[in-house]
Amino acid sequence: MKFLLLSVATALVLAACSSMPSMREGERLALYQAHAGAPVSSFRYFGQLNSWEALGDDAIAVWARPHEAWLLELSGPCSGLEFTSVIGLTDQMGQVHAGFDKVLVRDPGGINIPCWIRTIRPLDVTAIKQAEQAARAQTPRSY
């Protein structure tokens, strides 16, 4: 019976691993950087994000709208960024500014850890999706 339970548990773990993204964190950051435009001073922020993705401890991709994304490169490591499920952004009258605004990492203890935004670069969302599809097509599936 223990062998059966162990086999089922192993199969579940392997299935979960095979469905995980094939790109490592550094590869994802390189992909985003390759499809980012020139730095801009700010972007329009509507008070909440459509989604976001940590790209290490000093960069983050944020989607202000489904087809509008930005690469935010931070001024140094941002404590807790890779482990939090909730972030916030500071803004000035609906604009997030490089060198002035911050990413707020929401700590479960109620503390907002601020991380300064060094640069803001627009992301080509279509090109990123195409590159991700191409990478998935080239990656052999594990069963």
pLDDT at 22: 52
Q: pLDDT by residue (tens digit) across 62-117?
A: 999 999 999 999 998 898 888 888 899 999 999 999 999 999 998 777 677 899 99
pLDDT at 130: 94
| pLDDT one-digit tens code per residue, 20-67 | 345 676 789 999 999 999 999 999 998 899 999 999 999 999 999 999
The distance of Cα 105 from the centroid of its chain, to the nearest Å, equals 13
pLDDT band at 9 (very low <50, low <70, confident <90, very high): very low
**Interatomic CA distance for residues 49 and 66, integer angstroms:** 9
pTM over 0.85: no
Which pLDDT belongs to residue 106? 84
Residue 3 reports pLDDT greater than 80: no
116-135: average pLDDT: 94
Ordered DSSP codes for 11-60: HHHHHHHHHS-SS-HHHHHHHHHHTB-S-BSEEE--SS-SEEEE-SSSEE
CB 24 within 8 A of CB 104: no
